[in-house]
């Protein structure tokens, strides 16, 4: 089945509604029943009190001849009393009796002179009469097996001059209740059925609004899995589903970026292989050519032989540098490789690097200006690698500066700045200078592997140093090492 969630949601909603209806229906029926009995009770009480007070008044100055036991049944029926008692059932609109404390029926509505049997009284009469002779108007609830409805018995005292002379009992089934409950029940069932149909339709529509975006997301996921990272869900909702869709869109964007990054890296790697092959081949070709010329004794002049040896030595040094750089970078990029740290004075490290760079600077008549605001800059790090980091940046500053210019080395607070007056780096190239194998392509920039700044950055990263560059084309570059120590 395709719309499993929609079907499930619809069923859950309908089941919830059904349970709700049954509970509410039950409560409603119960309250309805209680209310009907309560109304009936009030009505009976009103009638009983009126009748009891009328009888008391009619008896007036006469005394009920209420001898205990069966002998005392001679009720005085003077004046309007006789007809009133005879019509007691009609007046009470229910079965009515007047009894004494021992439940002897003094009279009944229909046949005032007959003696009735005890069994004619309602089954709860005894309890009611007991309370009545304590002076209370009291109720008892029962159930008629015959009519299958609840019954009510009310008892109230008949008094003459404050003395309780008898108990008026009225017994009545709570009529019409079943009819009312029946019609109430029918209305309830009808309403539940309508509500169920409506809820089925509504919950189906609602469920579809849930499943529709899910379907869109599934489609997007399939497209993404197929490698098309331009796919977007197109779901815009301000809820959890919307959040999920937004996360998926973000994922596709990240995948796209990662794929671009991968392509860029691949391109750089290919460029590097081309570069490195060239870099390797040139010295190897020179070395081989020179050695062949020497061994074939094509070159025999001592001066020339010396020159050839010098060239072979230089090219071997270049080769060594390149191979060392590659090894160093692969070591630094390996997370398992731990660098050895010791407490050192950064001023010493910097001076050491400056000494090494001074030769190259002298050749281009470049002045290295050192300005430090402290003699001692204690730091924990790898001496050799920190020296290498400074040297890479210093070498570049000299390499990319014109002759007779100046390079400034400034130590201020927790920062070391190496600033030159060279060609600078364009805005387009600036974000990439620390990338592996990245070299600005210009006719002047012929040597180099694009590994120097990558190594410097890796050393900085390993030490927690923030290394960044600010540069303006044709004005110069500024490499800043932020040591971030307190």
Q: Which two tokens stand for residue 335?
A: 């997370």
CA-to-CA dists, residue 104 to 78, 168, 175, 307, 311, angstroms = 21, 12, 28, 152, 146
DSSP sequence for 204-236 = HHHHHHHHHHHHHHHHHHHHHHTT-TT------
Is 368 a binding residue for ligand ADP by CB under 6 A? The answer is: no
94, 449, 463, 481: residue in contact with ligand ADP (rule CB under 6 A): 449
Interface segment toward ligand ADP; rule CB under 6 A; list 148-156, 199-207, 273-281, 420-428: 420-428
Q: Does 397 engage in binding with ligand ADP (CB under 6 A)?
A: yes
> Could you tell me if residue 429 is left (phi over 0), alpha (psi between -120 and 50 degrees) or otherwise beta?
alpha
CB of 424 to ligand ADP, least distance (A): 6
User: Site mask, ligand ADP, residues 427-446, x = CB under 6 A?
Assistant: ------x----xxx----x-
- CB closer to ligand ADP out of 180 and 417: 417
CA-nearest of 176, 179, 172 to 91 is: 172
> What angle separates helix 177-225 from helix 240-295, to the nearest 10 degrees?
10
Nearest distance from C-beta of residue 390 to ligand ADP, angstroms: 13
Nearer to ligand ADP, 152 or 418 (CB): 418
Listed ranges 20-28, 252-260, 306-314, 449-457: which one lies at the site for ligand ADP (CB under 6 A): 449-457
Is there binding between residue 388 and ligand ADP (CB under 6 A)? no
Q: Kindly tell me which of 348 and 435 has the beta carbon lying closer to ligand ADP.
A: 435
CA separation for the pair 120, 153 (Å, rounded): 13
Would you say 101 or 395 has its CB closer to ligand ADP? 395
Backbone angles phi, psi at 238, to 5 degrees: -95, 60
Tell me if 184 contacts ligand ADP by CB under 6 A.
Answer: no
- H or E element: which one contains 462? helix 452-463
3-state secondary structure of 200: helix
Separation CA 478–CA 457 (nearest Å): 15
Interface region with ligand ADP, contact rule CB under 6 A, candidates 120-128, 132-140, 333-341, 421-429 = 421-429
453 counts as binding ligand ADP under rule CB under 6 A: yes
Residues near ligand ADP (CB under 6 A)? 392, 396-397, 400, 420, 422-425, 433, 438-440, 445, 448-454, 477
């Amino acid at each position: 089945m395709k719309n499993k969630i929609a079907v499930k949601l619809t069923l859950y909603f309908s089941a919830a509604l059904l349970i709700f209806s049954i509970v509410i229906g039950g409560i409603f029926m119960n309250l309805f029943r209680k209310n009907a009995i309560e109304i009936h009770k009030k009505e009976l009480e009103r009638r009983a009190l009126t009748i009891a007070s009328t009888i008391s008044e009619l008896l007036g100055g006469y005394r009920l001849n209420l001898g205990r036991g069966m002998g005392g049944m001679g009720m005085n029926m003077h004046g309007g009393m006789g007809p009133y008692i005879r019509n007691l059932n009609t007046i009470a609109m229910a079965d009515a009796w007047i009894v004494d404390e021992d439940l002897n029926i003094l009279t009944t509505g229909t046949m005032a002179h007959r003696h009735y049997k005890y069994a004619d009284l309602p089954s709860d009469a005894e309890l009611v009469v007991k309370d009545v002779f304590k002076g209370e108007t009291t109720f008892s609830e029962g159930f008629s097996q015959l009519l299958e409805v609840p019954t009510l018995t009310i008892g109230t005292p008949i008094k003459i001059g404050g003395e309780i002379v008898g108990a008026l009992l009225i017994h009545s089934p709570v009529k019409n209740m079943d009819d009312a409950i029946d019609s109430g029940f029918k209305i309830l069932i009808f309403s539940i059925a309508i509500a169920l149909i409506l809820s089925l339709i509504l919950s189906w529509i609602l469920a579809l609004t849930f499943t529709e975006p899910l379907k869109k997301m599934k489609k997007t996921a399939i497209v993404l899995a197929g490698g098309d990272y331009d796919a977007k869900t197109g779901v815009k909702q301000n809820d959890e589903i919307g959040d999920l869709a937004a996360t998926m869109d973000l994922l596709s964007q990240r995948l796209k970026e990662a794929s671009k990054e991968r392509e860029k890296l691949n391109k750089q790697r290919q460029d590097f292989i081309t570069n490195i092959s060239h870099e390797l081949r040139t010295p190897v070709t020179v070395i081989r050519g020179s050695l062949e010329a020497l061994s074939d004794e094509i070159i025999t002049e001592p001066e020339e032989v010396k020159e050839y040896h010098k060239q072979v030595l230089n090219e071997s040094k270049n080769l060594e540098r390149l191979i060392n750089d590659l090894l160093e970078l692969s070591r630094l990029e390996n997370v398992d490789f731990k660098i050895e740290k010791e407490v050192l004075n950064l001023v010493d490290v910097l001076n050491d690097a400056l000494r090494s760079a001074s030769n190259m600077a002298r050749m281009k008549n470049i002045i290295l200006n050192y300005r430090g605001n402290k003699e001692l800059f204690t730091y924990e790090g790898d001496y050799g690698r920190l020296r290498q980091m400074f040297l890479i940046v210093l070498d570049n500053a000299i390499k990319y500066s014109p002759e007779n210019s100046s390079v400034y080395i400034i130590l201020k607070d927790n920062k070391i700045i190496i600033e030159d007056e060279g060609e600078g780096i364009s805005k387009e190239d600036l974000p990439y200078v620390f990338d592996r194998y990245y070299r600005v392509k210009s006719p002047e920039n012929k040597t180099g592997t694009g590994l120097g700044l990558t190594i410097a950055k890796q050393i900085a990263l390993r030490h927690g140093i923030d290394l960044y560059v600010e540069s303006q084309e044709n004005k110069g570059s500024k490499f800043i090492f932020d040591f971030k120590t307190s």
